[in-house]
Structure 1
């Protein structure tokens, strides 16, 4: 930009005659003013001024939100704790499983159970025993994993097997397994009628013709 400095070059008379003198070009002024004219170019801005200007422009830029960094968990997944398989008492050679309500069977009740197993042509070596306490907290799947062929359930157990649609003293079949539900062994031992009902059902279950 060129700045024109009147600086004692023009007096008040000239300004009054030419009120638009400030807007005239140098060529036009030469015809009006006989004195020498001087003009100065505007000094370029220093680097420091430019830096200040750039800084102000940068500072005016909208602030961006910080990026969200997703940190993946490095912890290893917890391994499922598998419970030990059901531990059956007895040899369980022929897959005959006896489930009883009591924690322990009294000698007279056990004696009745032995005679009953022998009467259907089997021995206690072929039988496995589990109490309600031993079944507590276990699933049907764990019971099925024993691969029992015949399940004799006596009394109420703390196990989902109670939910099977089997009626007392009636044979219920699921897959390759046959189920017989009855009253608790001590109750049967003291009741002749229940003994007769149990014996009649056992004969059908084990194919006894007598």
Structure 2
């Protein structure tokens, strides 16, 4: 069983963030912290979709290029992307060039704009917070889906979102702090 790992700095962390570098910085500064605002939520949703089948480190290394390519994840701007924008994105070596994922990002921006007439993207995502959040002590106890992520996936699909499967939505819930994803004993647990 794998619990928190103590790094060379003497600080216990989730095992995937044990060594210095990009992943540890993401773990310590951002992962599991609540984000606010439509653009922040759309960015995380988009990046989680692009991550599917790839390492999260790859996405983090390309994050600034994604922000530039997708106009800071401004939903109105991305929702208006056309075939010329798709061609530009497919030629952009700074991002993951996958036509289905690019199309999903545009479709999801359009669905985000449509949500404004209701509760909005942020409120919708937060509505799936579990009544009893998980408290895993080891990596073996960490789930990859949950009843909440299954329900979130179904609701987002119903509202026109794509590339939002239950596993991807569970990762999103962790990333944006819908619940605390850190292992018990990790220095970030409960912060």
TM-score w.r.t. length of structure 1:
0.21
- Judging by fraction of residues, say which structure has more strand: 1
Q: Higher relative CO (CA 8 A, sep ≥ 6), structure 1 or 2?
A: 2
Greater C-alpha radius of gyration: 1
TM-score w.r.t. length of structure 2:
0.23
